Amino acid sequence: MPHSPDPAVLHGMPLFKALEREALADVVRHAQTRLIPKGTRIFSQGDEALAGHALIDGQVKIVQTGPDGQQVVLHFLGAGEMFGTLAMFMGGKYPAEALAVTDCVEIHWSVPTMMALMERHPRIALNALSILGRRFGEVQKRLREISTERVERRIAHALLRLVRQAGRRVETGVEIDFPLSRQDLAEMTGTTLHTVSRTLSAWEGQGIVASTRQHVVITEPHRLVAIAEDLPAPKQKD
Amino acid sequence: MPHSPDPAVLHGMPLFKALEREALADVVRHAQTRLIPKGTRIFSQGDEALAGHALIDGQVKIVQTGPDGQQVVLHFLGAGEMFGTLAMFMGGKYPAEALAVTDCVEIHWSVPTMMALMERHPRIALNALSILGRRFGEVQKRLREISTERVERRIAHALLRLVRQAGRRVETGVEIDFPLSRQDLAEMTGTTLHTVSRTLSAWEGQGIVASTRQHVVITEPHRLVAIAEDLPAPKQKD
DNA sequence: ATGCTTCTTTGCGCCGGCGCAAACCGGCGC
DNA sequence: GCGCCGGTTTGCGCCGGCGCAAAGAAGCAT
């Protein structure tokens, strides 16, 4: 059954950064914990937004679906990140759906609770603005990328972004630490799984990446960066 | 020289909605007004973010430039809207540049001032979240559009968006109420001015729009909606 | 008017990337 | 083991839209 989470966990989260002990206790008191098995849809696009969510453990992907069923992967997120929080400011409906790609632990607050918390502790609202602002900038950057860059570079960017978010060092390079299909990559970069597959195959032939089903390891990150940034000489060492 | 603006103007702005008289006075006391001639660059991408801005009158476009000079028009905004506000939450640098497309009147606050205001009046922070949330949703929607839809539909969407923001009824239809070049449209939709030109010409031939240089009138909005939404039958009447 | 600049239109050729379709591969249940 | 299913690869043909280039128009300045 749901119970209050450890305050220490919250304190590490950007949303609750720099809160006094007392405020933090207030936040904890109103939180609800939930275990979410892999594959669960945490919420659906268009649902009435019920709460702000914070991921304690696991990974979640945020997918938006268009009128004709075309999907776009908007975001992958990991432990410590918030999601669905902005929905309560956007007409009260989730603008996308959240899927647990691994087993997850999340805490959430009801909308009125969160609102009240923010009124009581302005710091939280400011933190939220800070987070949202950063995310906003990222989305804008992606918008520029997708409207001005070719597919290959977009895929490179997407992979690098994922590495930054969920990269884990392994002996052969950096691995993206959750199931990631060609289709997912296609939906993040506005292309098709065919093209993604072809591109990865090409890179694999050049020893830049190594991929199996749902799984990608970047063996030569610097060369991927070179592709993403369109550098002339893919240096061997830096 | 700069002076304090009329409180009534502020009260109509989403950021200061539902503020008590006293709080509003506080806000006004710290605001600075500025006149900006058409064509001025209000701030540049990468500049240290100095202030939150609010447009009292005129129109502004927000443009992001990529490493190789490729540009994207992120937003057009009109009287009553805020801009550059999120920059202070994004590492303190403007993520894009703001250009006055008409003569403008703006008010602004320094970053510390605005921060202090938000601490003192949480309502402002909540309003900011609300605005930012809405904008965020729009950008996400645009991201989906641009990655899944073909050029023609993207242009249609862009025009409709502009009509919503700056549409003015005229006898022949709805006019977009500021200078808008083919190049601008191209940069909003991730295509080239050539393609935009061709598309508009085609629509002009069908009597859907009428355009001159820097100026577009939509004569048959419903048919444009039909294109944007990919409806089968472009009904003549609804 | 006369030119100059800026924006726009249009033709033409090419190519990146999509769409379809078929084969392949690895894992899982039976 | 065997077959099935979901993910992946690859070939092939086509086409939307880009790029180049050149020629209009519409303002603006002199």
Rounded to the nearest 10°, the torsion over CA A15, A18, A23, A24 is 60
Query: Do A183 and A190 meet the contact criterion of CB atoms below 8 Å apart?
Result: no
Cβ–Cβ below 8 Å for A134 and B89: yes
In this predicted structure, what is the pLDDT of residue A232?
Answer: 60
**Do B206 and B96 reside in the same domain of the chain?**
no
d(CA A18, CA B126): 18
**Do A35 and A121 reside in the same domain of the chain?**
yes
| B30 located within any domain | yes
In this predicted structure, what is the pLDDT of residue B236?
Answer: 44
**pLDDT above 90: residue B2:** no
Higher-pLDDT residue of B147, A235: B147
**Do A186 and A130 reside in the same domain of the chain?**
no
**pLDDT above 70: residue A233:** no
| A237 located within any domain | no
d(CA B110, CA B32): 9
The residues pairing with A215 across neighbouring beta strands, listed in sequence order, are A212
Q: Is the CB of residue A142 inside 7 Å of nucleic acid strand D?
A: no
The segment with the largest mean pLDDT, out of A89-93, A231-235, B128-132, B178-182, is B178-182
Whole-number percent of chain A with pLDDT over 90: 47
Choose from B70, B71, B85, B136 for mutation: most chain A CBs within 10 A. Answer: B136
**Do B66 and B33 reside in the same domain of the chain?**
yes
In this predicted structure, what is the pLDDT of residue B89?
Answer: 77
| B50 located within any domain | yes
pLDDT in tens, A62-75: 999 888 788 888 88
Could you identify the residue written with the tokens 């909308």? A111
| B109 located within any domain | yes
In this predicted structure, what is the pLDDT of residue B92?
Answer: 84
Which of B132, B140, B149 lies closest to A133 in CB terms?
B132
Choose from B71, B139, B144, B229 for mutation: most chain A CBs within 10 A. Answer: B144
Q: In chain B, which residues have their Cβ closer than 8 Å to the Cβ of A144? A: 64, 66, 70, 72
Identify the CATH number of the domain in which residue A210 sits.
Answer: 2.60.120.10
| A86 located within any domain | yes
d(CA A116, CA A2): 21
Q: How far is the alpha carbon of A45 from chain B, nearest alpha carbon, in Å?
A: 12
**pLDDT above 80: residue B237:** no
Cβ–Cβ below 8 Å for B146 and A143: yes
A3 band by pLDDT with thresholds 50, 70 and 90:
low
Domain that holds residue A193: 151-229
**pLDDT above 80: residue A89:** no
Cβ–Cβ below 8 Å for B144 and A95: no
Residue type present at position B146: I
| Arithmetic mean of pLDDT over chain B | 88
pLDDT in tens, A198-221: 999 999 999 999 999 999 999 999
> What phi, psi does B177 have (nearest 5°)?
-90, 40
| B238 located within any domain | no
**pLDDT above 90: residue B3:** no
ipTM, interface predicted TM-score of the complex: 0.86
Q: Computed over its alpha carbons, how large is the radius of gyration of chain A?
A: 19
In this predicted structure, what is the pLDDT of residue A177?
Answer: 87
d(CA A197, CA A181): 10
Could you identify the residue written with the tokens 């999601």? A83
**Do B86 and B103 reside in the same domain of the chain?**
yes
Q: Is the CB of residue B29 inside 7 Å of nucleic acid strand C?
A: no
d(CA A221, CA A235): 11
CB neighbours of residue B22 within 10 Å: 9
**Do A12 and A130 reside in the same domain of the chain?**
yes
In this predicted structure, what is the pLDDT of residue A26?
Answer: 92
Q: Mean pLDDT, to the nearest integer, of A111-119?
A: 90
**Do A200 and A132 reside in the same domain of the chain?**
no
d(CA A99, CA B224): 35
| A190 located within any domain | yes
pTM: 0.87
In this predicted structure, what is the pLDDT of residue B13?
Answer: 83
B4 band by pLDDT with thresholds 50, 70 and 90:
low
Rounded to the nearest 10°, the torsion over CA B81, B85, B86, B92 is 160
Q: Is the CB of residue A209 inside 7 Å of nucleic acid strand D?
A: no
Q: How far is the CA of B227 from the C1' of D14 (A)?
A: 24
Element (H, E) at A36: strand A32-36
d(CA B16, CA A88): 19
pLDDT in tens, B84-112: 887 887 778 898 999 998 889 999 999 89
DSSP code, position B100? E
d(CA A86, CA B226): 31
**Do B166 and B133 reside in the same domain of the chain?**
no
Q: Mean pLDDT, to the nearest integer, of B119-141?
A: 88
**Do B13 and B51 reside in the same domain of the chain?**
yes
In this predicted structure, what is the pLDDT of residue A66?
Answer: 83
Cβ–Cβ below 8 Å for B125 and A122: yes
Could you identify the residue written with the tokens 């449209």? B185
Query: Shortest CA–C1' contact from B150: which nucleotide?
Result: D16
In total, how many domains does chain A have?
2
**Do A38 and A135 reside in the same domain of the chain?**
yes
Element (H, E) at A76: strand A71-77
Q: Is B229 helix (H, G, I), strand (E, B) or coil?
A: helix
**Do B73 and B121 reside in the same domain of the chain?**
yes
> What phi, psi does B186 have (nearest 5°)?
-60, -40
Among the candidates B146, B167, B200, a domain finishes at: B146
Q: Is the CB of residue B147 inside 7 Å of nucleic acid strand D?
A: no
Q: Mean pLDDT, to the nearest integer, of A35-61?
A: 88
**A214: phi > 0 → left, psi -120 to 50 → alpha, else beta; which?**
left
In this predicted structure, what is the pLDDT of residue A235?
Answer: 43
Whole-number percent of chain B with pLDDT over 70: 94
Within residues 215-234 of protein chain A, the ones with CB less than 7 A from nucleic strand C are none
Query: Do A167 and A175 meet the contact criterion of CB atoms below 8 Å apart?
Result: yes
pLDDT in tens, A133-179: 888 888 889 999 999 999 999 999 999 999 998 888 999 999 998 88
**pLDDT above 90: residue A190:** yes
Among the candidates B78, B111, B146, a domain finishes at: B146
pLDDT in tens, B160-218: 999 998 889 999 999 998 899 999 999 999 999 999 999 999 999 999 999 999 999 99
| A17 located within any domain | yes
Choose from A74, A140, A153, A155 for mutation: most chain B CBs within 10 A. Answer: A140
Q: In chain B, which residue's Cα lies nearest the Cα of A84?
A: B133
d(CA A7, CA A18): 13
- Write the CA distances from B191 to A155, B64, B73, B183, B187, integer angstroms: 19, 15, 12, 9, 7
**Do A221 and A125 reside in the same domain of the chain?**
no
Among the candidates B122, B146, B170, a domain finishes at: B146
| Arithmetic mean of pLDDT over chain A | 87
Single out the residue of A26, A137, A14, A164 nearest to residue A82, CA to CA. A14
The residues pairing with A112 across neighbouring beta strands, listed in sequence order, are none
**B80: phi > 0 → left, psi -120 to 50 → alpha, else beta; which?**
left
Cβ–Cβ below 8 Å for B141 and A95: yes
Q: In chain A, which residue's Cα lies nearest the Cα of B120?
A: A122
